[in-house]
């Protein structure tokens, strides 16, 4: 494949990307006017929830892609109503994208650039899902029982 | 039996496509092994000592005749003519080529099967009672709940990179035939005083190097909250389970370190939050699944009499059949433990035969038991002589259910890259020794379980007699354990003392059975005698 193109940042949002530097969860406690914050696997995401007013970007770091705490962190942010960007950073690859998106991630900045065609395939692959998560997709059980719009699944 | 609809089929087909793509990228070198490894594990593919091993999921152990035929075809086409049934009610193939794996998954998808999450740090295949839907003593068939959880846990986006593997078991009988309390989550469907069904959650059990019996953290979760409660249990684990040391990463360690009370408090808090997220499928979905598990058309007015004049047949009936809820039927166990054989192995021919027998004699159903045998769940008592004759002709009529030679054994050092010692030859020698002396017949129920390393795949902690293979200065050494049980009287076996070499462990097993025979009271099993008289008399006979 000679025409493969690679990309550093994949972003599924229409709003402008903020370039505010991300602060750690610890320093965020002292400067809660920061526009971006970075969550490490050991951080308690729920401590951030009362202070997300100014935050336009939350980065969730994956030092290793096998450490799945970041998936719960993203879900917790979305469940709390956070609508800003959630960006997966670190050891992230195309094989994790579909699940990450289901947990509320809408931007991906892996250490190693991803093949764009693979990224597209990863997002297009799963026609259906079994679980209700924060991504508002109607699970298979919803389709089976006539809940074929998002409001129905939520109601 | 459950049948896939268009959605289930599409999910499994999509997984085949995804894995085909991942395998292609691996074979081209685009995907390095360390990135590929967790992905292949989540599709049941292990790299063993000699080749890849593929573990195929048999959800709650239930198979149709056509599915058993398909498993035989895979053994013939891609393996060396046999398969190995496992303690997770699954089947493993030991001689698989990586490039064949996507094709095998495609073959499985054609019969509504898969290898999804049979390995890796994710929610594994859901296990259940092998007599589900047949046992006279069950409250309700537990499999619809297991199927609901199968779908919920498949491709779970939040819980696919857990600290460690996660095993769930669902039963619905006070008699535990599935080692429920030795699972990460064990669920027992129960009825409360108001007559409603609910789920008792036992969390934090397991074997491995630190065996634990799961405490009950909630004795009645309403059935329309089953998934929500499980989500809460998993989320607390995913966030707080240890990731610094893989040997301390199972949920049992978290529950133990926090204490069951504190873990429960955190789960209940998360549960209250999850109830607002709408993650629970509607009750109609459970009802939909239940229709697939409605009783098959049992005939009424059947006779329960059978000609027992053939003593081999009569012994097999006494040992290998189990009481059925419908008059005139039994569940019949096909032993995969012939004397001197490899526990749990079945040849292509045997698998095809078992598939045919399931169709002819058991309303097209068979089950994999966690003890590595096969059940025909719904056999007319009147058909037993014909069934026995067919089994006998194929070497599948060993009358040893729950006898000393019905041994659970892991693949051990013959196959497994984790093992310290061989398990299979020890099992073979023990069964041969007790068959030759005839002593096996005097012992009654005696569950013997062998693991080739501390990871305990052979359930040695839960054996009435357990054997653990270890590496002692470069030679295989075997520790003897006594007093374990995986049943409703769950207990963990204790080590007798210094280990033995291969011949020594076989002799030691005979020694402890001699102590039992000399000391037992009327009607006592080995386990009962051990519990009454304690370890001392056994130690004395072994070491003095």
Task: Give how far B18 is from chain A: nearest CA, Å.
Answer: 8
Q: What is the 3-state secondary structure (H, E, C) of B77-128?
A: HHCCCEEEECCCCCEEEEEECHHHHHHHHHHHHHCCCECCCCCCCCECCCEE
Q: How far apart are the first and last CA of chain B?
A: 55
User: Is B230 an interface residue toward A (CB < 8 Å)?
Assistant: no
Task: Give how far B113 is from chain A: nearest CA, Å.
Answer: 17
Band of the pLDDT at A27, cuts 50, 70, 90? confident
Among A22-36, B140-154, B375-389, B430-444, the minimum mean pLDDT is found in A22-36
Closest CA to B104 of B145, B128, B132, B71: B71
Q: Chain B 74-113, CB below 8 Å of chain A: which residues?
A: none
Distance CA B432, CA B427 (A): 9
Among A18-27, B60-69, B146-155, B474-483, the minimum mean pLDDT is found in A18-27
pLDDT on residue A2 = 42
Distances (CA, A) of B373 to B78, B228, B489: 23, 34, 22
pLDDT on residue A3 = 53
Interface touch B156/A140, C-beta < 8 Å: no
A121 neighbourhood in chain B, CB within 8 Å: 21
Distance CA A107, CA A85 (A): 7
Interface touch B157/A102, C-beta < 8 Å: yes
Could you give the angle at which helices B226-240 and A69-79 cross, rounded to 10 degrees?
Answer: 120
Domains identified in chain B and CATH numbers: 6-110 (3.90.480.20), 142-290 (3.30.413.10), 311-393 (3.30.70.3340), 408-543 (3.30.413.10)
On average, the pLDDT of chain B sits at: 96
pLDDT on residue B226 = 97
User: Is B392 an interface residue toward A (CB < 8 Å)?
Assistant: no
pLDDT surpassing 70 at residue A152: no
User: Is A144 an interface residue toward B (CB < 8 Å)?
Assistant: yes
Band of the pLDDT at A51, cuts 50, 70, 90? confident
Distance CA B215, CA B202 (A): 5
Q: How many whole angstroms from its chain centre is CA B220?
A: 25
Q: What is the pLDDT of residues A66-94, one digit of tens each?
A: 999 999 999 999 999 999 999 999 999 99
Q: What is the pLDDT of residues B255-283, one digit of tens each?
A: 999 999 999 999 999 999 999 999 999 99
Give the three-state DSSP class for A84. coil
Mean pLDDT of B39-49: 91
Report whether B36 contacts B179 (CB < 8 A): no
pLDDT on residue A7 = 75
A112 neighbourhood in chain B, CB within 8 Å: none
Closest CA to A58 of A97, A25, A86: A86
Mean pLDDT of B319-324: 97
Task: Give how far A52 is from chain B: nearest CA, Å.
Answer: 19
Task: Give how far B11 is from chain A: nearest CA, Å.
Answer: 7
pLDDT on residue A154 = 37
Residue B285 has its nearest CB partner, among A99, A103, A141, at: A141
Could you say which DSSP state residue B206 is in?
B
User: Is A102 an interface residue toward B (CB < 8 Å)?
Assistant: yes
Closest CA to B212 of B261, B251, B258, B160: B251
Task: Give how far B338 is from chain A: nearest CA, Å.
Answer: 42
Interface touch B243/A126, C-beta < 8 Å: no
Q: What is the pLDDT of residues B83-128, one digit of tens each?
A: 999 999 999 999 999 999 999 999 999 999 999 999 999 999 999 9
pLDDT surpassing 50 at residue A150: no
User: Is B37 an interface residue toward A (CB < 8 Å)?
Assistant: no
Band of the pLDDT at B238, cuts 50, 70, 90? very high
Give the three-state DSSP class for B439. helix
What percent of chain B clears pLDDT 90, i.e. is strictly above it?
A: 97
- β-partners of residue A109 are A89
Sign (positive/negative) of CA torsion B244, B250, B252, B258?
Answer: positive
Provide the token pair at B301.
Answer: 């007015």
Distance CA B405, CA B268 (A): 44
Mean pLDDT of A18-22: 86
Distance CA B410, CA B388 (A): 28
Interface touch A126/B14, C-beta < 8 Å: yes
pLDDT surpassing 70 at residue A100: yes
Kind of pairing between the strands at B62-64 and B365-368: antiparallel
Provide the token pair at B211.
Answer: 């065996």
Interface touch B18/A65, C-beta < 8 Å: no
User: Is B224 an interface residue toward A (CB < 8 Å)?
Assistant: no
pLDDT on residue B286 = 96
Interface touch B157/A72, C-beta < 8 Å: no
B39 neighbourhood in chain A, CB within 8 Å: 95
pLDDT on residue A4 = 65
Band of the pLDDT at A32, cuts 50, 70, 90? low
User: Is B244 an interface residue toward A (CB < 8 Å)?
Assistant: no
pLDDT surpassing 90 at residue A120: yes
Distance CA B164, CA B255 (A): 14
Task: Give how far B267 is from chain A: nearest CA, Å.
Answer: 14
The full set of domain ranges for chain A reads 6-124, 128-155
Interface touch A71/B238, C-beta < 8 Å: yes
Residue B158 has its nearest CB partner, among A93, A103, A154, at: A103
pLDDT on residue A151 = 41
User: Please, where are the H alpha helices in B300-450?
Assistant: 311-320, 348-361, 384-393, 424-437
A79 neighbourhood in chain B, CB within 8 Å: 273, 277
Report whether B221 contacts B189 (CB < 8 A): no
Band of the pLDDT at A122, cuts 50, 70, 90? very high
B277 neighbourhood in chain A, CB within 8 Å: 79, 132, 134
Interface touch A125/B159, C-beta < 8 Å: no
Distance CA B413, CA B421 (A): 5
Interface touch B155/A126, C-beta < 8 Å: yes
* CA torsion, ordered A112, A117, A118, A121, to nearest 10 deg: 150
Residue A99 has its nearest CB partner, among B5, B22, B160, at: B160
Interface touch A125/B152, C-beta < 8 Å: no
Give the three-state DSSP class for B245. coil
Give the three-state DSSP class for B252. helix
How many C-beta atoms surround the C-beta of residue B57 within 10 A? 22
Which residue of chain A is at minimal alpha-carbon distance from B281? Answer: A141
Distances (CA, A) of B52 to B47, B76, B98: 4, 16, 7
Torsion angles phi and psi, residue B329, rounded to 5: -120, 155
pLDDT surpassing 90 at residue A26: no
Closest CA to B132 of B283, B317, B293: B293
Mean pLDDT of B134-159: 97
What percent of chain B clears pLDDT 70, i.e. is strictly above it?
A: 100
pLDDT surpassing 90 at residue B372: yes
pLDDT on residue A153 = 38
Task: Give how far B156 is from chain A: nearest CA, Å.
Answer: 7
Report whether A28 contacts A51 (CB < 8 A): yes
Mean pLDDT of A126-148: 94
The domain made up of A6-124 has a fold known as TIM Barrel (3.20.20)
pLDDT surpassing 80 at residue A96: yes
Interface touch B157/A71, C-beta < 8 Å: yes
pLDDT on residue B199 = 98
Q: How many whole angstroms from its chain centre is CA B315?
A: 26
Distance CA B83, CA B362 (A): 22
Among A136-150, B96-110, B231-245, B384-398, the minimum mean pLDDT is found in A136-150
pLDDT on residue A148 = 65
Q: What is the pLDDT of residues B402-451, one digit of tens each?
A: 999 999 999 899 888 889 999 999 999 999 999 999 999 999 999 999 99
Count interface pairs A-B at CB distance under 8 A.
100
How many residues does this entry show for chain A?
Answer: 155
Band of the pLDDT at B51, cuts 50, 70, 90? confident
Report whether B98 contacts B45 (CB < 8 A): yes
User: Please, where are the H alpha helices in B111-214?
Assistant: 143-153
pLDDT on residue B329 = 98
Mean pLDDT of B46-71: 94
Task: Give how far A11 is from chain B: nearest CA, Å.
Answer: 19
pLDDT on residue B409 = 95
Provide the token pair at B196.
Answer: 């409603």
Interface touch B7/A69, C-beta < 8 Å: no
Which residue of chain B is at minimal alpha-carbon distance from A154? Answer: B278
């Amino acid at each position: 494949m000679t025409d493969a193109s690679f990309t550093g940042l994949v972003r599924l949002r229409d709003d402008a990307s903020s370039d505010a530097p991300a602060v750690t969860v610890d320093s965020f406690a002292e400067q809660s006017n920061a526009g971006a914050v970075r969550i490490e696997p050991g951080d308690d995401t729920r401590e951030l929830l009362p202070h997300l007013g100014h935050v336009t970007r939350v980065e969730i770091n994956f030092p290793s892609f096998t450490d799945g705490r970041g998936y719960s962190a993203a879900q917790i942010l979305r469940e709390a109503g956070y609508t800003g960007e959630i960006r997966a950073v670190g050891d992230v690859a195309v094989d994790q994208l579909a699940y990450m998106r289901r947990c509320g991630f809408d931007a991906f900045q892996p250490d190693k650039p991803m093949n764009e065609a693979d990224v597209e395939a990863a997002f297009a692959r799963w026609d259906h899902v079994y679980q209700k998560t924060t991504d508002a997709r109607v699970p298979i059980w919803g389709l089976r029982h006539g809940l074929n719009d998002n409001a129905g699944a939520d109601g | 039996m459950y049948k896939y609809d268009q959605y289930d089929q599409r999910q499994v087909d999509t997984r085949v496509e995804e894995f085909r793509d991942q395998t292609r990228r691996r074979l081209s070198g685009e995907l390095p092994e360390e990135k590929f490894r967790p992905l292949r594990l989540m599709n049941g593919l292990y790299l063993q000592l000699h080749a890849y091993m593929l573990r195929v999921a048999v959800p709650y152990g239930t198979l149709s005749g056509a599915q058993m035929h398909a498993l035989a075809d895979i053994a013939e086409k891609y393996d060396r003519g046999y398969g190995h049934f496992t303690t997770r009610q699954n089947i493993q193939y030991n001689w698989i080529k990586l490039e064949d794996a996507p094709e095998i998954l495609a073959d499985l998808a054609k019969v509504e099967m898969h290898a999804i999450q049979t390995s890796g740090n994710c929610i594994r295949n859901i296990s259940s009672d092998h007599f589900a839907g047949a046992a006279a003593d069950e409250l309700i068939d537990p499999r619809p709940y297991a199927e609901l959880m199968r779908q919920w846990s498949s491709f779970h986006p939040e819980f696919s990179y857990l600290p460690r593997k996660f095993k769930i078991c669902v039963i619905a009988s006070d008699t535990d035939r599935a080692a429920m309390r030795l699972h990460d989550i064990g669920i027992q469907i129960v009825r409360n005083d108001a007559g409603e069904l609910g789920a008792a959650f036992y969390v934090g059990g397991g074997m491995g190097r630190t065996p634990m019996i799961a405490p009950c953290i909630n004795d009645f979760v309403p059935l329309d909250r089953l998934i929500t409660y499980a989500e809460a249990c998993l989320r607390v684990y995913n966030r707080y389970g240890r990731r610094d040391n893989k040997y301390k990463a199972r949920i049992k360690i978290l529950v133990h370190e926090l204490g069951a009370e504190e873990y429960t408090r955190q789960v209940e808090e998360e549960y209250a939050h999850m109830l607002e997220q709408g993650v629970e499928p509607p009750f109609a979905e459970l009802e939909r699944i239940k229709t697939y598990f409605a009783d098959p058309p049992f005939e009424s007015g059947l006779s329960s009499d059978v000609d027992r004049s053939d003593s081999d047949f009569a012994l097999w009936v006494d040992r290998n059949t189990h009481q059925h809820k419908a008059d005139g039927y039994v569940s019949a166990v096909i032993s995969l433990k012939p004397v001197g054989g490899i526990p749990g192995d079945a040849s292509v021919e045997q698998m095809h035969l078992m598939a045919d027998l399931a169709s002819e004699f058991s309303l097209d159903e068979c089950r994999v038991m966690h003890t590595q045998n096969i059940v025909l769940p719904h056999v007319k008592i009147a058909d037993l002589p014909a069934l026995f004759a067919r089994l006998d002709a194929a070497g599948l009529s060993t009358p040893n259910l729950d006898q000393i030679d019905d041994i659970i054994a892991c693949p051990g050092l013959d196959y497994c890259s984790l093992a310290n010692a061989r398990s299979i030859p020890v099992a073979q020698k023990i069964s041969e020794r007790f068959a030759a002396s005839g002593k096996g017949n005097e012992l009654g129920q005696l569950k013997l379980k062998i693991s080739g390393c501390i990871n305990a795949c052979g359930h040695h902690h839960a054996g009435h007699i357990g054997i653990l293979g270890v590496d002692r200065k470069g030679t295989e050494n075997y520790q003897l354990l006594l007093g374990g049980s995986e049943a409703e009287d769950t207990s963990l076996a204790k080590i007798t003392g210094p280990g033995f070499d291969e011949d020594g462990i076989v002799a030691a097993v005979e020694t402890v059975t001699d102590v039992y025979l000399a000391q037992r009271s009327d009607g006592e099993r080995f386990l009962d005698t051990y519990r009454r008289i304690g370890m001392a008399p056994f130690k004395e006979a072994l070491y003095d």
